[in-house]
Amino acid sequence: MNRRDLLATTAAALTAAALPAQARPSGASMPQTPPVPPVAKKIPVRIEQLGRVRVDDYQWMKDDNWQAVLRDPTLIKADVKEHLTAENAYREAMMASTLPLQATMFEEMKGRIKEDDSSVPAADGGWEYFVEYRTGDQHPRYMRVERQGSWMVDGEPVTKNFVVAPTPQLLLDANELAAGKAYSQVSAASHSPDHALFAYAEDAQGSEVHQIFVKDLATGEVLPDPIGSATGNFAFSPDSQWIFWTNRDDNGRPDKIFRRPARGGEATLVYEETDDGMFISVGRTSDDAFVVISIANQETSEARIIPASDPTAEPVVLEPRQVARLYDPDHWGDRWVIRTNADDSIDFKIVEAPTATPGKAHWTDLVPHTPGRYVEGVALVKDFIGRQERADANTRIIVRDRAGAEHEIAVDEPAYSLSLGGASEFDTTVMRYGYNSPSTPTSTYDYDLKTRERTLRKVQEVPSGHDPADYVVERLNAPAADGELVPVTVLRRKSTPVDGSAPLLLYGYGSYGYPMAASFSTNRLSLVDRGWIYAIAHIRGGSDKGWNWFLSARRFTKKNTFTDFIAAAEHLISSGHGKAGHIVAQGGSAGGLLMGAVNNMRPDLWAGVIGQVPFVDVINTMSDTSLPLTPPEWPEWGNPIEDPEAYDYMMSYSPYDQVEAKAYPAVLATGGLSDPRVTYWEPEKWVAKLRPATTSGKPVLLKINMEAGHGGASGRFDYLKEVAHDYAFAVWAIDKGWERV
């Protein structure tokens, strides 16, 4: 039996199991009655906070032992597991008619992936590193091959030419690592600077609790005593003798940086962060001159540095943290180069400072602040700086030499994604960048910063075929209530009419300053090729139009995110790209908060709402200091434990708390049992409250992956099945498929 047959058989069995015994069909003439949804028990819990009282009927769904469940999902409470299992069964029974469509979409999506694929090799010293997939592989194989041609090592040229091409060396087969496991994800992998060791971090349950393994590349041996309870972040010291990593505490937070000999030995505490509201990580500067410990939340940061010449030294503060000031340092051979929003540089600027005195008193502008030109990131090689800038929801790359001369890598399209990949070695004149658009597959280029010549290294192949000329990409600007213009990227086939008749999927996120790139996705074509219009709303809360676009939709202006999304939908309706009640809204994580909010605010606009791992229980989550992301995210949302105004404002939009009797659209909420970011009980509670409240008769469904976390399934094909499921729900919602169940 193949996997598709197994899915169909399982769904059929669950359909029968969800029916009352007397309603199960025993013959062809017996009519089938609709599946009966689970009814969640109510155990009212009265919560008094800041003189305000709320009652939560479904707090029992949160497992008091959730920290242990993250590391071992089998420890989930029996009544919670029973309810989640019943919810999954009900959803599968309700959506059983979509199984052929799910299977078809999955095969389409799989057919657009080049199964035997590999990345463009990244050169570093005498080696080139890459990842490859073989036909049928769910997971990548990490590889390297000896480098041919000429390059620089310690300022001296090296040349190697082989008569016979060298044989690639396998560093890690993640398929073997995943064998026999329900979930396995390699979150980070890196070689040591001397190329003798290879380290990788595996998350084996979806909870983002990692083990870090180190492999001796001369012997092929995975060294004993892997590092446990790690975030997945690690770095070798520049001399390759030590490995640094970030610890994950019992509440799932990064709290300490440790160091030990790279080949194993006693661990030494390097740094401990006492503020629960800060994230920490460790890395090396581009020139391998320093190890850098980064400490930051959404609005404040600090860096501590360790010189490469003394990797066991105590870390030294580069510039003390100051609330609402961010800075991100790198070292450029003879000086520091720092991206920062200091001095009211809302869209960031780039400064430089002497190596020995890197504090702010010694910062001088290298690239001054320009309002509306958001400096997203900086990449350094020996004699050049590349920077990525964003404006009006598009990106551009600027190259600067040591003399200060600049030039731009430009693109002339209405909506696109241009991404600076930087370089994997310091002594080079070549940086890598990628380009795509909603209709155009990714092209990867190597760009010589000195000669300005670009070399096309790879064009994303779509084996089943794809012609960009068959599609139209548009950039619209939706007027918000306060006069701001919200960019909206639209993708459709040329043959799709713009008269309101086409179904529309509108995607949004709008939090943490993360922009939504106008990028290419083969998966979306499974909707677009069926006559759908796919749109991305570049709403406030992201940085699509600069950092101020983010600042204008957080804390007490967070509702701008939601009203921008509604404005985008209304503009698409007025322009003929959709019509009310014929739109499916989709968003995940903090974008799931967006889904919950617009579901409450304007349920009439949507045929369906897909909330993927949705952050919907805002007040309860942001009041629970034990949860991994609560203290670090108070700068984003506010602190409802201490601030009455924050409590009241958050309560006014919290999707779970604002559910009331009204005609809601069809809703699909998804989650992962071992998700540390948006815990499983958020979508579970939302569905439990939403289902009895809706007056529309439209279904409210829950899909909990019992073997994964925030990112869903780990295998590249298993993940496609989840995408196909969600898109099939969108089609089902537009077609009112539940009426035929």
Q: Which residues are tagged catalytic?
A: 589, 675, 710
Residues 6 or more apart whose CB falls under 8 angstroms from that of 504 comprise: 532, 533, 534, 535, 572, 577, 578, 582, 583, 584
Taking alpha carbons only, the member of 632, 377, 650, 607 closest to residue 514 is: 377
Q: Give me 155's structure tokens.
A: 């300022």
Q: How many whole angstroms separate alpha carbon 300 and alpha carbon 323?
A: 5
CB 211 within 8 A of CB 234: no
Q: What sign results for the dihedral spanned by CA atoms 227, 231, 232, 236?
A: negative
Where residue 555 falls (left for φ over 0; alpha for ψ -120 to 50; beta otherwise) is left
CB 371 within 8 A of CB 346: yes
Strand order in the sheet with 430-437: 417-422, 430-437, 440-448, 454-459
Terminal Cα-to-Cα distance of the chain (whole angstroms): 26
Q: How many whole angstroms separate alpha carbon 8 and alpha carbon 15?
A: 10
> What residue ranges in 226-315 does DSSP mark as E strands?
227-236, 242-248, 254-261, 268-272, 279-284, 290-296, 301-307
Residues 6 or more apart whose CB falls under 8 angstroms from that of 679 comprise: 62, 66, 621, 627, 671
Q: How many whole angstroms separate alpha carbon 709 and alpha carbon 675?
A: 4
Q: How many whole angstroms separate alpha carbon 182 and alpha carbon 514?
A: 30
Q: What are phi and psi of 5, to 5 degrees?
A: -60, -40
Q: How many whole angstroms separate alpha carbon 201 and alpha carbon 227?
A: 9
Q: Strands 384-391 and 394-401: what pairing?
A: antiparallel
CB 532 within 8 A of CB 559: no
CB 145 within 8 A of CB 127: yes
DSSP per-residue letters across 596-653: HHHHHH-GGGEEEEEEES----HHHHHT-TTSTTHHHHHHHH--TTT-HHHHHHHHHH
Tell me the CA distances in angstroms from 121 to 44, 144, 145, 222, 520, one per residue in order. 58, 8, 9, 24, 22
Q: What are phi and psi of 681, to 5 degrees?
A: -75, -15
Q: Strands 583-588 and 666-672: what pairing?
A: unpaired
Q: Strands 606-612 and 666-672: what pairing?
A: parallel
CB 125 within 8 A of CB 153: yes
Residues 6 or more apart whose CB falls under 8 angstroms from that of 669 comprise: 592, 611, 614, 616, 683, 686, 687, 700, 701, 702, 703
DSSP per-residue letters across 334-368: SEEEEEE-TTT-TT-EEEEEESS--SGGG-EEEE-
Q: How many whole angstroms separate alpha carbon 674 and alpha carbon 714?
A: 13
Taking every pair of Cα atoms in the chain, the longest distance, rounded to a whole number of angstroms, is 86
CB 283 within 8 A of CB 291: yes
Taking alpha carbons only, the member of 475, 682, 686 closest to residue 600 is: 686
CB 86 within 8 A of CB 719: no
Residues 6 or more apart whose CB falls under 8 angstroms from that of 111 comprise: 463, 464
